[in-house]
Structure 1
């Protein structure tokens, strides 16, 4: 198959999955994606072998450009992923992948690019005033997955925008009540320093569930976090449902803290597949109350629109948008 100069491989690499797609950037700057292919990171020794697998699935040829959204800090001679053992050496990308042009961004930097370009119809309202995200100024973007991604977006009056990656998922966890205290105490047995990622990321549901069970004196077996998420969402386990609600409360607290720290008063966007899967629970949970519970700044927090992006592949879309911003076709 032959590809045009307008096409590239867009890749979203997290702790568990690596998603690949062919992206086309039209002359007007609009971006379209073909059908994504998802590979498990644990099934591949390196990103290069995953790339080769994807190339074979696409008939043996790929575009000569790639944009990678990576779950972890980018920059430097060696890029290490936060939650999987792969490494990438940017100086070798052209040689190892057989491409001419490339872009490498943090995964939530890519999501912020997606937020900047997504249509208003690709957001649903969570809390705060039911109005669009601010057309100018700063927005905060975060989302739970295998870890907790955080970025911020600044929209200029002329319609351009700037995105910055952060490692905000690694700020300290701040308990607000006795249950939070108990969660922290459990986590402190394994971690000297407990970051918010230990409480507000997909795997954290296991520690929340175990904490609630201990508080009620109920013996429960250690089990996969996916099973707890499933029971908590389908209503078959009231303790798991309570754990999911507690997770949503903590996510609200962290989202509010991030907005205060970044000055994201033009809007806050929750992203990621997990956020989308629990969207109905978020609306009914204590998320909104915890988001606003910032003491003297409660009135300010109540003025911030909080949205959930529902684009099916914000990481892939955003990686392509980041490539367009770097190489042209804004």
Structure 2
């Protein structure tokens, strides 16, 4: 049995847990602790806060899932001001072994190891499982938009099956509007950003700009609301304009998911992330599936792809631990 700290660091939250990896590769995790990145000056101070919660001592191995590019002497986060210097991990944290992966690479590791029961249908043929071999696109909206892809050889992990995860920065490709409303969203965003990426429209905070665009189109005064307030008002149905913004978000998410599947040559797609899980019922009722398939001559191909939501409660933490096991224990 190997014990380690597994960490999932996003733009808003840093989640910590203790993971136990058994000899057969089974991963068990403690109840995670969630810290706000804005409450801590650095990753080290957040680590120390978690260590204090655990009696002042932690295992000497750590797996990190980080929301940003991995590699080089300094790791910078896309949506929070922390940095990590891998060369100083042992000195600062007391960890003698570590693995650092991109946050959606970690999610892809979780997808590779998750049981079939931990996926639910979002689009595609009802009940059709994800293919056991070939490529899967993995993406999810949160503070930003994470994208990765996964290739597996068709054999179960327990039987020596192999898989390969590729992290990407796919959330930063150009946003492609498909109708006049999305033209208006793009025009609004272009006033602030020379280049508008998909992440500016398909992420949790993006709902503010979508909502403001719809308000302007209806010549309404734009009420200052946080993204959390708009999501709550839209998913509850208490505000029709917020509900329209949420539906527009789901359309854009479907279109983006279809684009990534085409680019990756994927045989299936997995949506992950806390936001996707929270609005799963809304996604099912929206035009997500239609937009996923709306790829012109490839509409028939897209309609045959299974699109799933992973329901594992902490895929980032679980996937980081899986990545550590793959690097150090196999």
User: In the alignment, what sits opposite 1:276?
Assistant: 277
CA positional deviation for 1:129: 1.4
User: In the alignment, what sits opposite 2:158?
Assistant: none
CA positional deviation for 1:299: 0.8
User: In the alignment, what sits opposite 1:67?
Assistant: 63
Aligned-CA RMSD value: 0.7
CA positional deviation for 1:91: 0.8
What is the rounded CA distance, in whole Å, between the counterparts of 1:175 and 1:70 in structure 2?
Answer: 29
Which of 139, 142, 154 matches 1:142?
139
Which of 168, 171, 174 matches 2:173?
171
Which of 27, 33, 39 matches 1:31?
27
Q: Which whole-Å deviations, capped at 9, do the CAs of 1:167-213 have from their partners, x for residues lacking one? A: 00000000000000000000000000000000000000000000001
Residue 73 of structure 2 corresponds to residue 77 of structure 1: yes
Secondary structure class of the residue paired with 1:192? coil
User: In the alignment, what sits opposite 2:239?
Assistant: 237
Runs of 4+ residues deviating >4 angstroms = none
What is the rounded CA distance, in whole Å, between the counterparts of 1:243 and 1:277 in structure 2?
Answer: 16
User: In the alignment, what sits opposite 2:301?
Assistant: 300
What is the rounded CA distance, in whole Å, between the counterparts of 2:119 and 2:183 in structure 1?
Answer: 34
Q: Which whole-Å deviations, capped at 9, do the CAs of 1:228-280 have from their partners, x for residues lacking one? A: 0000011110100000000000000000000111111x210000000000000
Q: TM-score, normalised by structure 2?
A: 0.97
User: In the alignment, what sits opposite 1:214?
Assistant: 216
User: In the alignment, what sits opposite 2:49?
Assistant: 53
What is the rounded CA distance, in whole Å, between the counterparts of 1:219 and 1:33 in structure 2?
Answer: 48
User: In the alignment, what sits opposite 1:187?
Assistant: 189
Residue 12 of structure 2 corresponds to residue 16 of structure 1: yes
Residue 148 of structure 2 corresponds to residue 151 of structure 1: yes
Name structure 1 gaps, 5 residues minimum.
none
What is the rounded CA distance, in whole Å, between the counterparts of 2:124 and 2:327 in structure 1?
Answer: 34
What is the rounded CA distance, in whole Å, between the counterparts of 2:35 and 2:228 in structure 1?
Answer: 18
Residue 243 of structure 2 corresponds to residue 203 of structure 1: no
CA positional deviation for 1:309: 0.3
Q: TM-score, normalised by structure 1?
A: 0.97
Secondary structure class of the residue paired with 1:112? helix
CA positional deviation for 1:94: 1.1
What is the rounded CA distance, in whole Å, between the counterparts of 1:132 and 1:32 in structure 2?
Answer: 25
What is the rounded CA distance, in whole Å, between the counterparts of 2:42 and 2:236 in structure 1?
Answer: 36
Q: Which whole-Å deviations, capped at 9, do the CAs of 1:48-82 have from their partners, x for residues lacking one? A: 01000000011100000000000000000110000
CA positional deviation for 1:284: 0.6
CA positional deviation for 1:27: 1.2
Secondary structure class of the residue paired with 1:141? strand
What is the rounded CA distance, in whole Å, between the counterparts of 1:197 and 1:235 in structure 2?
Answer: 25
User: In the alignment, what sits opposite 1:315?
Assistant: 316
What is the rounded CA distance, in whole Å, between the counterparts of 1:246 and 1:256 in structure 2?
Answer: 16
What is the rounded CA distance, in whole Å, between the counterparts of 1:156 and 1:124 in structure 2?
Answer: 22
What is the rounded CA distance, in whole Å, between the counterparts of 1:257 and 1:143 in structure 2?
Answer: 14
